[in-house]
């Protein structure tokens, strides 16, 4: 009977702890979704020029029409496709 009470107490304690962790875990995460809502805040660490090795629009391959396709992400949050 004593063992059964201890087991029940342990299960309830563990369940309560898991529920509390699930409720409060998003508060302690390192990602602030509000800061990632614009191209500027998202692209700043990745600013630079990228060459597309695959470019499709629907099922159409855009690289058949163009010699190369480059994407430039600028520091001010804008982009340029050349």
Looking at the structure, do residues 25 and 47 belong to the same domain, yes or no?
no
Largest CA-CA distance found in the chain, in angstroms, rounded = 79
Looking at the structure, do residues 10 and 48 belong to the same domain, yes or no?
no
Structure tokens belonging to residue 43: 């692209």
pTM of the model: 0.40
Neighbours of 28 (CB within 10 A): 7
Convert the pLDDT of each residue in 38-81 to its tens digit. 655 555 567 788 888 888 888 888 888 888 888 888 877 788 88
Domain tally, the chain: 2
Count, in order, helices (H) and strands (E) of the chain: 2, 5
Looking at the structure, do residues 77 and 55 belong to the same domain, yes or no?
yes
Give the domain range for residue 11.
1-30
Cβ atoms 59, 65 nearer than 8 A: no
């Amino acid at each position: 009977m004593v063992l059964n009470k201890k087991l029940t107490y342990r299960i309830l304690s563990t369940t309560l702890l898991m529920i509390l962790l699930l409720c409060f875990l998003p508060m302690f995460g390192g990602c602030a979704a509000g800061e990632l809502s614009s191209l500027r805040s998202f692209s700043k660490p990745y600013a630079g020029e990228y060459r597309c090795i695959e470019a499709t629009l629907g099922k159409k391959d855009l690289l058949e029409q163009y010699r190369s396709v480059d994407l430039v992400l600028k520091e001010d949050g804008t982009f340029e496709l050349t």
